[in-house]
Every structure is written in C-alpha cells, then in structure tokens.
Amino acid sequence: MEKQVYISVSTDPVKSYQGIIEYTKSMQDIADMIHCDVMDGLFVPNKTFEATLVSNINQNTSCMLDVHLMTADPLSSLQSYIKAGANILTVHYEAFAQKEDIVKAINFIHDKKALAGLSIKPETPFKEVRPYSYNIDVLLVMSVEPGMSGQKFINESLDKIKEIATFREQNNLKFKIEVDGGVNEANVKEVLAAGADIIVSGSCVFKSENRAETIKNLKRGG
C-alpha cells in the first residue's frame, strides 16, 4: 500500500494579514492542510498574528488547520485556538516548565475533539517526549530552529525522524510524524523515507512559480 503523504502549507512566509488570507484561499483543493504558525515574540523572537487570524483563515478555506503554537504559555491560549477552528493543535515540549502540564494540554485538546500535537526543537532528543507519544496524534519534528522561515534543513534531523518512526512501529503507535523546516523538492525523498507523514512547506511552495505542481512533487517525493 502506497504511503499517504500530507502537505501542510505554512503561513509564515506571508507577511501581511490580508496576504495570508489570500494565500490560504489559493491553497484550497491544492494543499492538505494550512500550517498556522503562531509566535508570541517570547518563545521565539518573531511575533505573528493570533487567534483572530486563524478564525479568519478558517472562514476562507475548508483545508484542515494545523495550528503550531510557538508560544511561552500555550495552556493559556488553547481555548482561543480551538474556538478559532484548529483541527490539529500543536504545543512545544520546551514551553512547559511543569512537564505534567503537557498532559493537561493534550487532554484539553482531545476533550475539545481536536487532534493533539507535540513539537520538539532540533536540540531536544526524542527520548524526552517518548512518554507522551502514546497519547498524541502528531509529533512535530523541527528541522530548523523555530521562528523564522527560509532556514536550511538540519541533516541530523533525519536520524531523529528514523528513531521516532522505529519506536512508533515497534510499539504499534498511530501518531503522524510531521517535519517542519527547510524541506524542499531536493531533500523531501530522504525525509519521507526516514518516516515522515506530514511535510510542512513554507518558502518552497510560497516562492514556487507553480505552487500546485510543487505540492504534487513534494507528495511524490521530489
């Protein structure tokens, strides 16, 4: 059976509010998901639009909304992003001073009938989040430092993806492996072969002259 690959197109390269709305509208029937990058200027240096934008995107596309909270206090804003229409809501492992709050976040997201994601930065080893992998729907591997579009893929991420995929298979787990950062038509084959299911694409799709064809190429493995 052929592997199902999903492309989650990031809002990050688009810098204006209206530009994001128009871009996400243009992804209708082309992308599988819209990756809504939420940054608070604290967890990462950059700051982006908040839940009102996610709500507006939701009103303009039927694509799944893949909301990625790069925020210092994710628990405080989960409700607002669920209300805005998040289908997948992903929080960062590193954002939690009290790790038991990760379980609270996952349970809250599930209680609201959304899919729960957990993200790890490049320097965070998989073993840190292994205990949570039994209860999440998505594990988002950052293959660049979070917070800025256009960075180069960190090759060591491939080993981490393989480790996660092996653990998932050995334990018969169902979570999807999502990879965010620097994935393009030249390296996507390796990323998918390592075990990724969902590819986040920012600059690769946004800067493409034929975005629909680029998405098809990414799904095919380059």
Q: Please identify every residue annotated as catalytic.
A: 37, 180
Task: Quickly tell me which residue has 């002259």 as its tokens.
Answer: 209
Residue type, 197: D
Residue type, 40: D
Residues facing 200 on adjacent strands: 8, 180
Query: What are phi and psi for residue 65, nearest 5 degrees?
Result: -100, 115
Contacts of 168 (CB under 8 A, 6+ apart): 133, 175, 177, 195
Where is 213: in which H helix or E strand?
Answer: helix 211-220
